Structures are given as structure tokens and as C-alpha cells.
Amino acid sequence: MLTMVDVDKLQVKSAHSPDEVRTPDKTRVEVVRFDTCAMARFRFEPGWRWSDCIKPVAGTETCQVSHVGYALSGTIQVKLQDGTEMTIRGGDFYTIPPGHDGWVVGTQPFIGIEVMSAEHYARH
């Protein structure tokens, strides 16, 4: 089921001055909030893995956040609890359901923009 966000006014915010920054190990999440939604820029450094870097913050066995985003650069591998794996590379749009692990592939950071997970990712 797709849902729409109602927007009733023009708003502009700079990515250079986010409303909140979260910095777990090898992670930077820059959150920008609007009246009806939030967006975030995620940066995961080489060696980042959800189960190593975010699990201690989230306190769950797997990531329980839904993701909808666009990969700007880098590569990340995602593995669902059922064993399904996919690679997300710069230039890819993606959706990821709850119940997964993920890790950076290669020596470049993964940078993505997300629209659904901004308020909840990398929080207790």
C-alpha cells in the first residue's frame, strides 16, 4: 500500500545545516525535518556493518526500520532474514524491508538519501 505525504507549504532547508546529526561508529546520519516529513543523508564508512555499528544503538538483532532511498555513491550489500541478498550501488533507488543486516562493500563510503527512516534510524 502506497501512502502520500500532504504538503501544504513551500519549505527549503540546507543539507549543510541539518536539524540533527547522529554519529554511531563509522556512521553519520544528518536529519532534516519538515512540517510533514523528515529526510536524511546517510554516510557509512568502509568497514561499516549494521550488526557491528548500529545494533548496539538499536538494541535489536536485525535492523527493524523500513528504508526508501537513493544511493549517491559507494556500495552496500543488504541481507534479509530469509537469506535474500542484494547489492545497492551509487545511482540506485532502493527499498529495504525491516529484518535485515547490511555492510559497506569496498573502500569507498556509502552515501544515500532516505525519506522513510530519517526519524528512527540509529536511535534507541
Torsion angle of the four alpha carbons 96, 24, 118, 123, in this order, in degrees rounded to the nearest 10: 100
Q: Is 116 in contact with 67 (CB distance < 8 Å)?
A: yes
What mean pLDDT do residues 87-100 have?
98
Q: What average pLDDT does range 52-56 have in this prediction?
A: 97
Q: What is the DSSP letter of 2?
A: -
Give the pLDDT confidence score for residue 118 in this predicted structure: 86
- For the stretch 22-39, pLDDT in tens is 999 999 999 999 998 999
Q: Spell out the domain ranges in the chain.
A: 20-114
Average pLDDT over residues 32-52: 96
Bridge partners of 39, per DSSP, are 32
**Mean local confidence (pLDDT), 90-105:** 98
CATH fourth-level superfamily of 20-114: Jelly Rolls (2.60.120.10)
Q: Which ranges constitute the DSSP H helices of the chain?
A: 50-53, 55-58
Query: Residue 1 has what pLDDT?
Result: 60
pTM confidence score: 0.93
